[in-house]
Amino acid sequence: MLESITHLFLQQYWWIIISLLGSFLVFLLFVQGGQTLLVTLGKTKSERTMLVNSLGRKWEVTFTTLVTFGGAFFASFPLFYSTSFGGAYWVWMAILFCFVVQAIAYEYRSKPNNVFGTKTYEIFLFVNGFLGTLLLGTAVGTFFTGSEFSVNPMNIVNLSNVTVSAWENPWHGLEAVLNIQNILLGVTVFFLARVLGILYFMNTIDSEKIFSRAKKHLLYNAIPFVVSFLAFVGLLLTSEGFAYDPASGQVYMEDYKYLHNLIEMPMVAIFFLVGVVLVLWGIIKSIISISNYGIWFSGVGTVLTVFALFLLAGFNNTAFYPSTYDLQSSLTIENSSSSVYTLKTMAFVSLFVPIVFAYVFYVWRAINNKKITEEEMESDHAY
């Protein structure tokens, strides 16, 4: 009994860590959002170089957070890793391609003899910013809408079908784009990334022209973001969800499941509401005043909101990766996790996370304490 409590505690602890990493990842997607605005906000080569360089100092943190998010998911919920990545093959592969072309684009963009030309690398950045955010959002959308897969760990002894997790349609993840709720989340993440990218530029670049252009485009991007976000939340809270009985592990459909989760977990509801208010306040403050601190309000708000959404997906006896093909194959934090020993070991490792946050923040301040200027682009290491 004690062991099962301990295991459940660790499963919940690790879902919180995953949720935190996921929420920071969404915040850090401001890099991707910014990449889709290079032409819109940068009218000259020099302006575009400033925009690229302001993002170029942060892209590796986003990239690393994505890698760590994947690694932490693998270690704590390996059945999700094997089921989703091995099943929704095309979606994840498309996301990976988007990130591969990003990784080299910054370093190669302005280097002489770069074979494909500056324009090509800027297109790579755009593709990463556009498809990367859209597809990540759409893929995470399936946490609430489900996918068609089956899971049977005992297949490992079945010589005629040894596959533990099998995708049960030939589309291997592409079908996620046919669900309006998934698409709405994808579009929301895309426009949120753009909003955050704009707020980040306003905070870090010393250029009045870019600042005023950014301010104008903030409104253009905030409107579709708010509309798609509200539509997504509306659908989420009124739809049926994937619940499970903790005693038997049986998964069943429950009307208004995610609304119930919000009501039954008041702390999560507070995170969600405070998060949404902060995101909106960061946007509004930046539109109505000359403040350049909107990124901090909207950034913290994004982390809180996404954190709450992850908790809605996995807590309160909810299947976080549901199967619409076979309900009982749905993944919950209880049936897809690592063993007690591994989660405990990893819990010790997770104590490093605050240290990581501390030095990332410290270095961020050290590098961003002065705004980026045109002169700097000519004198030092510039992308």
Partner 1 sequence: MLENIDLSLINWSRGQFALTAMYHWFFVPLTLGLSFIIAFMETIYVTTGRAEWKRITKFWMTLFGINFAIGIATGLILEFEFGTNWSNYSWFVGDIFGAPLAIEGIMAFFLESTFIAVMFFGWNKVSKKFHLVSTWLVAFGANLSALWILVANAWMQYPAGMRFNPDTARNEMVNFWEVLFSPVAINKFLHTITSGFLLASVFVLSISAWYLLKNREVMFAKKSILIASVFGLLSSFYVVLSGDNSARIMATHQPMKFAAMEGLYTGQSGAPLVAMGVMSNEPDTTKNYLRDFTISIEIPNLLSYMAYLDPEAFVPGINDLVYGNEEQGIMPATEKIARGKIARETLSDYKKAKDDGDTEKYEELRATFQDSEFQEDYFRYFGYGFFRDPQDLVPNVPIAFYGFHLMVALGFYFILLFALALRYLFKGSLVRRRKFLWLALFTLPLPYLAGQAGWIVAEMGRQPWAIQDYLPTMAAVSRLDASAVQTTFWLFTVVFTALLIAEIRIMSKQVKLGPKQEGGN
Within positions 98 to 127, which residues make up the interface with partner 1, using CB under 8 A?
Answer: 99-104, 106-108, 111-116
- Interface residue with partner 1, options 39, 93, 223, 230 (CB under 8 A): 93
Could you say whether residue 1 binds partner 1 (CB under 8 A)?
no
Q: 274-281 — which CB contacts under 8 Å span 24+ positions?
A: 274/301, 274/304, 275/300, 275/301, 275/302, 275/303, 275/304, 275/305, 275/306, 275/307, 275/308, 276/301, 276/305, 277/301, 278/304, 279/192, 279/305, 280/226
Q: How far is the CB of 334 from partner 1 (least distance, A)?
A: 12
- Please say which residue, 85 or 315, places its beta carbon nearer to partner 1: 85
Of residues 71 and 234, the one with the C-beta less far from partner 1: 71
Based on the shown chain and the rule CB under 8 A, indicate whether residue 250 belongs to the binding site for partner 1: no
From the list 40-48, 190-198, 213-221, 336-344, the region that binds partner 1 by CB under 8 A is: 336-344
Residues 60-79 contacting partner 1, CB under 8 A: 60-61, 63-64, 66-72, 74-76, 78-79
Nearest distance from residue 71's CB to partner 1, in Å?
4
DSSP 311-340: HHHHSSSB-SB-BSS-GGG-B-TTTS---H
Phi and psi at 251, nearest 5°, equal: -95, 140
Segment interacting with partner 1 (CB under 8 A) among 38-46, 132-140, 188-196, 357-365:
357-365
Rg (CA), the chain: 21
Considering the rule CB under 8 A, would residue 360 count as an interface residue with partner 1? yes
Total residues in contact with partner 1, by rule CB under 8 A: 82
Beta bridge partners of 150: 166
Does the footprint of partner 1 cover residue 350 (CB under 8 A)? Answer: yes
Nearest distance, CB of residue 53 and partner 1, angstroms: 8
CB-CB contact of 251 with 327 (8 Å): yes
Backbone angles phi, psi at 174, to 5 degrees: -65, -25
- Cβ of residue 357: shortest distance to partner 1, in angstroms? 9
Of the candidate residues 346, 347, 371, 374, the single one contacting partner 1 (CB under 8 A)? 346
For partner 1, the closer of residues 85 and 190 by Cβ is 85
CB of 225 to partner 1, least distance (A): 27
Exposure string (b/e) for 178-196, b if CB count within 10 Å is 16 or more? ebebbbbbbbbbbbbbbbb
Q: Are 333 and 320 in contact (CB under 8 A)?
A: yes
Query: Which residues from 164-223 bind partner 1, rule CB under 8 A?
Result: 164-167, 170, 172
Q: Are 128 and 110 in contact (CB under 8 A)?
A: no
